[in-house]
């Protein structure tokens, strides 16, 4: 099944255009009964010129509605066509669609419950009671007290979490989301300090977001009283999402990675890694906020949509 969403207008328009003429619908209908047909046979069956058949086949091919293959012929090669999809589903209201047709599983992960990391200074962490360790000593991230962290900062590297994949037996995952509060990392704070922050799921790169800065324009709503006003105050709530067609950050397309690329059936858990790529243009570090720091009372939330 080909699933299309209004959130991906370019592809939706391309497929809708490909389905907008009787000739192209006739070609798809012909391929239902004759799965491998060349362009000459299409022209004869639909009583149209070969050039017209070739032009319309190209439109359907570019929309990925049919597949073509060059096969040897008595004179050179011929293009043989076959159907690529049996069904096309167009979602014009994705929020209502997932609410009505999908079920959801949600897991909230405390930010201190990372299972692996690769961090370089500047780095550190704190909880609501105070600083957990001396700053800029990455080895402290192995300490069990790190699980109580409510804010974590690092200049280079990444954090990795492991979420349980709890869905009903036989269910199909249709979308995967990760939401968390984060921003760049600068000395004290700097609202103009861009940083390219990247997410990987199951070791597959999903996409990046450029944080505008290390935010201190107002005091974090949840910050404990002991936290200094000259330090990082809050982040922005960002959502990385992967579905059957693409990946997005806050509904803006960020890559072609799809659920199929993640090999979700291989393991009973889903890994989520967030950090800085060594070759990123903007090397501005990262702050991750937990349930009791910043502006949003949450850790890292994973949502699984399934049918």
The full set of domain ranges for the chain reads 2-90, 94-306
Domain at 2-90, CATH from 3.20.20.70, 2.40.40.20, 1.10.10.10, 3.90.76.10 = 1.10.10.10
Per-residue pLDDT of 103-142, as tens digits, reads 889 999 999 999 999 999 999 999 999 999 999 999 999 9
Query: What is the band of 231 on the pLDDT scale with cuts at 50, 70, 90?
Result: very high
CATH class of the domain whose range is 94-306: mainly beta
pLDDT at 229 over 70: yes
Q: How far is residue 219's CA from residue 20's CA, in Å, rounded to a whole number?
A: 54
Same fold, 2-90 and 94-306: no
Instruction: Give dist(CA 123, CA 276) in Å, integer.
Output: 13
Could you give the maximum distance between any two Cα atoms of the chain, in Å? 83
Using alpha carbons, select from 85, 127, 118, 84 the residue that is nearest to residue 226: 127
pLDDT at 1 over 90: no
| Pairwise CA distance, residues 243 & 175, whole Å | 4
Q: What is the pLDDT of residue 95?
A: 59
User: What are the Cα distances from residue 279, in Å, to 157, 198, 275, 290?
Assistant: 12, 11, 12, 27
**What radius of gyration, in Å, describes the C-alpha atoms of the chain?**
25
46-101 per-position pLDDT tens digit: 999 999 999 999 999 999 899 888 887 777 778 899 888 777 878 776 655 555 55
Q: Which residues contact 39 (CB under 8 A, 6 or more apart)?
A: 50, 53, 54, 57, 78, 79, 81
Task: Give the global pTM.
Answer: 0.69
The per-residue pLDDT for 99 is 53
For residue 124, the SS3 value is strand
Are 165 and 302 contacting, i.e. CB atoms less than 8 angstroms apart?
no
Rounded CA-CA distance 204/247 in Å is 11
Which residue pairs from 99-105 have beta carbons closer than 8 angstroms and sit at least 24 positions apart in sequence? 101/307, 102/174, 102/175, 102/305, 102/306, 102/307, 103/168, 103/171, 103/305, 103/306, 103/307, 104/303, 104/304, 104/305, 104/306, 105/166, 105/167, 105/303, 105/304, 105/306
Evaluate whether 239 touches 207 at the Cβ level (below 8 Å): no
pLDDT band at residue 25, thresholds of 50, 70 and 90?
very high
Q: What is the mean pLDDT of residues 270-296?
A: 97
Q: Residue 102: pLDDT above 70?
A: no
Q: Which residues contact 279 (CB under 8 A, 6 or more apart)?
A: none
Per-residue confidence (pLDDT) for residue 189, from 0 to 100:
95
Residue-wise pLDDT tens digits, 149-167 = 999 999 999 999 999 998 8
For 36, which DSSP code? S
Beta-carbon neighbour count of residue 260 at 10 Å?
Answer: 10
CA distance linking residue 109 with residue 126, whole number of Å: 17
């Amino acid at each position: 099944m080909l699933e299309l969403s209004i959130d991906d207008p370019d592809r939706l328009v391309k497929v809708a255009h490909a389905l907008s003429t009787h000739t192209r619908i006739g070609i798809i209908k012909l391929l239902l009964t004759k799965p491998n047909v060349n362009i000459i046979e299409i022209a004869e069956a639909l009583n149209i010129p070969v050039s017209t058949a070739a032009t319309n086949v190209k439109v359907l091919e570019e929309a990925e509605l049919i597949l073509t293959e060059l096969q040897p012929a008595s004179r050179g090669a011929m293009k043989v066509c076959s159907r690529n999809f049996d069904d096309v589903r167009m979602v014009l209201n994705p929020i209502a669609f997932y609410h009505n047709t999908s079920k959801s599983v949600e897991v909230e992960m405390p930010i201190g419950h990372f299972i692996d990391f690769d961090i370089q200074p500047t780095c550190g962490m704190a909880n609501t009671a105070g600083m957990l360790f001396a700053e800029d000593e990455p080895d402290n991230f192995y300490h069990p007290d790190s699980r109580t962290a409510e804010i974590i900062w690092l200049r280079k590297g990444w954090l990795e979490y492991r979420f349980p994949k709890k869905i009903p037996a036989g269910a199909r995952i249709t979308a995967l989301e990760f939401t968390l509060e984060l921003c760049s990392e600068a000395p004290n704070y700097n609202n103009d300090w861009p940083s390219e922050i990247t997410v990987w799921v199951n070791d597959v790169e999903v996409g990046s977001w450029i944080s505008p800065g290390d935010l201190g324009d107002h005091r974090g709503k949840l910050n404990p009283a002991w936290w200094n006003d000259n330090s990082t105050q809050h982040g922005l709530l960002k959502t990385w999402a992967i579905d059957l067609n693409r990946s997005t950050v806050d509904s803006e397309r960020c890559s072609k990675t799809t659920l199929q690329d993640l090999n979700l059936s291989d393991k009973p858990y889903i890994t989520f890694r967030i950090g800085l790529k060594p070759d990123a243009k903007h090397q501005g570090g990262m702050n991750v906020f937990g349930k009791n720091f910043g502006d949003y009372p949450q850790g890292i939330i994973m949502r699984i949509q399934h049918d």
